[in-house]
């Protein structure tokens, strides 16, 4: 079954069986040195997922040590280890600055590329999307892991459009996509992506014409056998020169209207795929590194068949997954942050009518209380659980401003309320505190003090029930009024099985201005160029 995974892609891939993937198309971090926080502004979790900066720290050193250990029993890791040690010399064993950052980035990417190699079938291919910052380093790593003879293309994706002018540098207008195969016995389908071009009269005049009105071009026999030449001659496809040498005739195809056409050879410089920033497209989600669907459809068409299994270990907002499903391929997507999987889930629902559990598996993302408890027990993923709970309310996760307790995180959201008396809008804060253990009256009172300090609205989220005394605290906090409707300032949400049976039931539990809990905008199905606008921050007018 098609599957979305939430978690570290290295851990996920290491649990998968060998040689099961037909095609990998992926867009990993570039080591660009940029912070991508626009998707979920000020989100602590997203800063981890979208901060494309690297430092030579303990995790980087641990990764290198792990590569050395695996190199003792794995030829792939041995080749990777040798490559990275060579880069250590090139980068002067730096532990800081740009050179140290590059060493850390390669320690991160290296084992992931090694696992992708293990997962590919012998007939499989990989497209690795990168930019000039690190593409030359990644090519060396790929040469070591996949072997030099299996390098197929360095594709240049050129995109035009406005850019802030630079007085010292040429404008950066392209990304690099490295195409490798697992072996010489790889699948390719170039005809599936070669565009058909209608030829004008002037263009047709460059071709030869038979007596019966067919246009053709001819080439030397090449590697054709004598038997093939004899067969082609009987079919009227051999042109004999005056010296008696055969040339093979290739006739131009005709479309349904009788127009002569030709297949345009696709080269390794792609100038016909626009970046999402160039055009006003409904395909945009607001995801900072989102790539156009057309780009990934081209890779998938070129290197897979319908029914093949396509994987993206850095699934982001799901462009590869969307393209694979549109083209009738099976798919696996992996992403680190639970906040990206939520818009991906919505994208699959809106574009293809797909729902988790029914149409695909979603692992590591809570779809029932059992999975909620599993997330809570994993200390590494508790923050992700907290973010998931907050986004159920339509709030935007932010850095913790909690009450100082060990079990819980508070998140800040902002809503804009219309004040009809003053004829203007007022920004109002809303806090959400998440508690996985048994809630206490002292925790609720501490949360109330934070609310009072910031004149905020609050939602206290728990797994276990709250007491009567805690509910009295909520009564004591009073109410706020919006559009002549009164709402409690402090409210409680206990996550339970009823929510997973009917997520819309949350509207009956939490009373906030109606639009705050409005669902995200649905998107058109099977767009080529359509808007996907997932706004995790709802404003109220």
List the one residue out of 182, 213, 50 whose CA is nearest residue 114: 182
Q: Give the Cα separation of 238 and 235 in Å (integer).
A: 8
User: Length of the chain, please?
Assistant: 541
CA 473 vs CA 410, 435, 456, 463: distances in Å? 18, 17, 15, 19
DSSP at 17: P
Among 140-144, 312-316, 480-484, 527-531, top mean pLDDT goes to 140-144
Residues 373-408: b if buried by 16+ CB within 10 A, e if exposed: eebbeeeebbbbbbbbbbbbbbbbbbebbbbebeeb
Choose among 455, 403, 475, 456: nearest CA to 434: 403
In percent, the amount of the chain with pLDDT more than 90 equals 48
**Residue 397 · residue 445 · CB < 8 Å:** no
* Mean pLDDT confidence for 44-54: 48
* 3-class state of residue 427 by DSSP: strand
Most confident of 99-113, 278-292, 481-495: 99-113
**pLDDT for 309:** 98
Select the more confidently predicted residue: 393 or 40: 393
pLDDT at 406: 38
Higher pLDDT, 286 or 169: 169
Structure tokens at 532: 């996907």
**pLDDT grade, residue 44 (50/70/90)?**
very low
Query: Domains in the chain, please, with CATH?
Result: 3-192+268-363 (3.40.50.150), 196-263 (no CATH), 378-517 (3.40.1350.10)
The per-residue pLDDT for range 249-273, each reduced to its tens digit, is 999 988 888 889 887 778 899 988 8
User: How does 493-508 read in b/e, with b if 16+ C-beta sit within 10 Å?
Assistant: bebbeebbeeeeebee
Separation of alpha carbons 32 and 438, rounded Å: 43
Segment 350-363, tens digit of pLDDT: 999 998 888 999 88
Of 534, 541, 481, give the one whose Cα is nearest residue 511.
Answer: 481
CB-side neighbour CA atoms (13 Å) of 118: 18
Q: Quick one: pLDDT at residue 297? A: 95
| Residue 153, pLDDT score | 96
Q: How many helices (DSSP H) and strands (DSSP E) are in the chain? A: 17, 23
Confidence of residue 528 (pLDDT cuts 50, 70, 90): very low
* CA–CA separation, 263 and 199 (whole Å): 10
Question: For position 518, what pLDDT does the model report?
Answer: 37
CA distance 156 to 131: 9
Cα dihedral 219/222/223/226 (nearest 10): 80
Q: At which residue do the structure tokens 């004999």 appear?
A: 240
pLDDT for the residue 72: 97
Q: CA–CA separation, 209 vs 196, rounded Å?
A: 20
pLDDT digit string, tens, across residues 399-410 = 544 443 434 445
Residue 217 is inside which H or E element, if any?
A: strand 215-220
pLDDT tens figures, 334-352 = 987 766 777 788 889 999 9
With 60 as the cut, is the pLDDT of residue 92 above it?
A: yes
- Is the pTM value of this prediction over 0.85? no
Give 520's contacts (C-beta < 8 A, 6+ positions apart). 343, 346, 534, 535, 536
More confident residue, 195 or 528: 195
pLDDT category of residue 235 using cuts at 50, 70 and 90: very high
């Amino acid at each position: 079954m098609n599957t979305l995974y939430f978690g570290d892609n290295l851990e996920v891939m290491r649990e998968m069986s060998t040689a099961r993937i037909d095609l990998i198309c992926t867009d990993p971090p570039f080591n660009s040195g940029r912070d991508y926080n626009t998707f979920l502004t000020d989100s602590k979790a997203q800063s981890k997922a979208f901060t494309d900066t690297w430092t030579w720290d303990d995790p980087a050193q641990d990764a290198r040590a792990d590569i050395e250990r695996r190199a003792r029993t794995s030829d792939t890791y041995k080749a990777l280890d040798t490559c990275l040690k060579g880069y250590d010399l090139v980068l002067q064993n730096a532990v800081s600055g740009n050179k140290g950052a590059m060493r850390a980035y390669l320690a991160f990417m290296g084992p992931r590329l090694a696992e992708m190699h293990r997962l590919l079938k012998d007939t499989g291919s990989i497209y690795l999307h990168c930019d000039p910052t690190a593409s030359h380093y990644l090519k060396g790593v790929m040469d070591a892991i996949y072997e030099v003879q299996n390098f197929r293309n360095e594709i240049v994706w050129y995109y035009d459009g406005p850019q802030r002018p630079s007085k010292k540098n040429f404008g950066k207008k392209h990304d690099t996509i490295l195409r490798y195969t697992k072996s010489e016995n790889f699948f390719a389908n170039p005809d599936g992506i070669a565009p058909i071009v209608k030829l004008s009269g002037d263009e047709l005049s460059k071709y030869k014409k038979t007596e019966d009105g067919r246009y053709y071009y001819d080439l030397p026999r090449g590697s054709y056998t004598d038997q093939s030449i004899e067969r082609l001659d009987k079919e009227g496809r051999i042109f004999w020169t005056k010296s008696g040498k055969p040339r093979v005739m290739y006739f131009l195809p005709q479309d349904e209207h009788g127009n002569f056409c030709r297949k345009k050879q696709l080269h390794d410089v792609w100038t016909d795929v626009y970046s999402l920033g160039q055009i006003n497209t409904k395909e945009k989600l607001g995801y900072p590194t989102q790539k156009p669907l057309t780009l990934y459809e081209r890779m998938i068409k070129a290197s897979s068949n319908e029914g093949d299994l396509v994987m993206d270990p850095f699934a982001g907002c799901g462009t590869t997954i969307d393209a694979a499903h549109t083209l009738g391929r099976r798919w696996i997507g992996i992403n680190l942050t639970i906040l990206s999987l939520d818009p991906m889930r919505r994208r699959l629902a809106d574009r293809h009518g797909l729902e988790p559990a029914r149409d695909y598996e979603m692992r590591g993302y809570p779809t029932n209380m059992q999975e909620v408890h599993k997330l809570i027990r994993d200390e590494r993923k508790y923050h992700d659980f907290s973010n998931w709970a907050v986004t159920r309310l339509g709030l935007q996760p932010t850095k913790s401003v909690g009450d100082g307790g060990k079990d819980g995180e508070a998140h800040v959201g902002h809503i804009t309320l219309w004040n009809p008396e003053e004829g203007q809008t007022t920004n109002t804060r809303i806090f959400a505190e998440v508690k996985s253990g048994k809630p206490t009256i002292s925790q609720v009172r501490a949360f109330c003090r934070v609310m009072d300090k910031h004149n905020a609205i609050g939602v206290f989220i728990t797994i276990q029930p709250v007491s009567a005394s805690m509910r009295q605290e909520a009564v004591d906090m009073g109410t706020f009024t919006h559009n002549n409707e009164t709402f409690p300032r402090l409210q409680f949400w206990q996550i339970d099985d009823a929510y997973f049976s009917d997520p819309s039931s949350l509207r009956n539990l939490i009373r906030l201005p109606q639009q705050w809990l409005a669902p995200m905008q649905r998107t058109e199905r099977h767009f080529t160029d359509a808007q996907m606008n997932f706004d995790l921050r709802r404003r109220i007018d």
